[in-house]
């Protein structure tokens, strides 16, 4: 965008080209304005280049804090996991029982069909 502005300011172009450049600059400026809040939101690391040692210490402290949150989340997941495992085991048992009863039903149905055909 800066390069386009510089070209616009330092060169002589025709009216059509000038109009195209102005429209393009306007679109780019609008787009920059639209994206600026998102850039700030997703800016992950802020580093003060004048104080690298301090920035490194701050980043290390932030990383350690995030790591502790991650470990806590894993512990919570492990606690929930045992409950979920029990639920899945019970579900598997019920499914197996359902399958067994269904197979029995199919066998009885075959027997009933055979009896009704022979009558």
Q: Name the pLDDT band for 43 (thresholds 50, 70, 90).
A: low
3-state secondary structure at position 93: helix
Tell me, yes or no, whether 62 and 105 share the same domain: yes
Mean pLDDT of 43-55: 74
Residues 67 and 119 in one domain: yes
Q: Is the pLDDT of residue 53 over 70?
A: yes
Q: Give the mean pLDDT of 37-43.
A: 73
State whether 11 and 64 are in the same domain.
no
Residue numbers of the domain that contains 69: 48-119
Same domain, 56 and 92: yes
Query: Are 68 and 40 contacting, i.e. CB atoms less than 8 angstroms apart?
Result: no
Shared-domain flag, residues 68 and 11? no
**Residue 44: predicted pLDDT:** 62
How far, in Å, CA of 31 to CA of 2, rounded? 14
Q: What is the pTM of this model?
A: 0.38
- Angstrom distance (rounded) from CA 23 to CA 29: 10
Higher-scoring residue by pLDDT: 10, 63: 63
| Residues 19 and 63 placed together within one structural domain of the fold | no
Question: What's residue 69's pLDDT?
Answer: 96
């Amino acid at each position: 965008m800066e390069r386009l502005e510089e070209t616009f300011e330092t060169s002589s172009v025709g009216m059509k080209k000038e109009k195209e450049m102005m429209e393009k600059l306007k679109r780019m400026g609008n787009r920059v304005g639209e994206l600026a809040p998102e850039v700030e939101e997703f800016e992950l690391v802020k580093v003060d280049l004048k104080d690298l040692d301090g920035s490194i210490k701050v980043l290390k402290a932030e990383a350690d804090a995030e790591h502790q949150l991650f470990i806590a989340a894993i512990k919570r997941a492990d606690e929930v996991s045992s409950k979920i495992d029990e639920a899945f085991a019970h579900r598997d048992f019920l499914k197996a029982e359902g399958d067994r009863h269904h197979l029995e039903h199919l066998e009885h149905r075959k027997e009933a069909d055979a009896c009704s055909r022979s009558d």
